[in-house]
Amino acid sequence: MKIRVLGSGAGGGFPQWNCSCPNCKAVRAGSIRASTRNQSSIAVSSDGEHWVLFNASPDVRAQLENFPEIHPKNKVRGTGIEAIVIIDSQIDHVTGLLILREGDPLDIYCTEMVKQDLSTGFPIFNILEHFCGVNDHPIPLNGDSFSIPNIDDLEFTALSLKSKAPPYSPHRNDPHDGDNIGMVIRQISTGKTTFYAPGLGVIEPHVEKAMIEADCVMVDGTFWTDDELASVGRPLLARAIGHIPQSGEGGMIEILNAMEKPRKILIHINNTNPILDEDSEQRKILDMSGIEVAYDNMEIDL
């Protein structure tokens, strides 16, 4: 299984265009050892030629330009993207679909709740029908795995996560299964699995089981502390908006430290998170725990 990190940042990327927090100021000035980051997305393949794109961020054009394996080959137009899996309908995970409108109909896999959001509150599917069109495929939430044509040797199993739908969703304050999912990606020939969930607010038993059994987990690394956004004048708590902070009791470090098997990688890093500074004390804590921080163009082979 081949995984390419197209973007490792949270919404807005790093530095965020309108932010002057210590991290954003320092990376612009070159005064910290840190890498800029696009908004989060990964691509997965079993053969290095045919790829599944997980989410389509607003940065998708630049991400694909930096990824030669997915460029058109031997014809004027084409792509190595066979399908797009959308894990939720948040703006930073779906707006890039509009950038992909110049080709054939997009094969998009998503839950029924995400399809509803993208047909009503944020009607990207309706807009795309006037350009390339959409072939939508429902993602089962009953534990059944599914396959994707031309993606040989990989199967996918979705896990419903506790989460709120986006602000524009007709059921924003009425959560449903399928508003947000994690995904178990399994290579059939080897049995190796990756669990991918860039947004995690609660570790339910079925999620914990999937993480413990995985060979690699790529999970929510948005915030270091629960009250981190207060540093930029936003009185929002990480857990209240669906993200488990890394530090503190019940934090992601504590959760991951209890797991022996998987390779542990944090993704979807917010621009305020001190772990972006590679020389920070917080980064050293992660290093001591054997927890990696995803970066753009990172490649993972399982």
Place domain 2-301 in its CATH homologous superfamily: Ribonuclease Z/Hydroxyacylglutathione hydrolase-like (3.60.15.10)
pLDDT at 88 (0 to 100): 97
- The region that residue 11 occupies, defined by phi over 0 for left and psi between -120 and 50 for alpha, beta otherwise, is beta
pLDDT at 129 (0 to 100): 96
Radius of gyration of the chain (CA): 18
pLDDT at 231 (0 to 100): 79
pLDDT at 65 (0 to 100): 96
Give, in order, the Cα–Cα distances in Å from 158 to each of 38, 109, 182, 238: 25, 11, 6, 24
Low-confidence ranges of the chain (pLDDT < 70): none
Q: pTM for the whole thing?
A: 0.96
Q: Is-contact 266 246, C-beta < 8 A?
A: yes
pLDDT at 49 (0 to 100): 95
Q: Which residues pair with 264 in a beta bridge?
A: 217, 291
pLDDT at 234 (0 to 100): 85
Summarize pLDDT for 181-197 with one digit per residue, the tens: 999 999 999 999 999 99
Give, in order, the Cα–Cα distances in Å from 174 to each of 99, 116, 164, 166, 177: 30, 14, 8, 11, 10
The domain ranges of the chain are 2-301
Q: Which residues pair with 9 in a beta bridge?
A: 39, 269
Closest by CA position to 86, among listed 97, 72, 102, 73: 97
pLDDT at 298 (0 to 100): 98
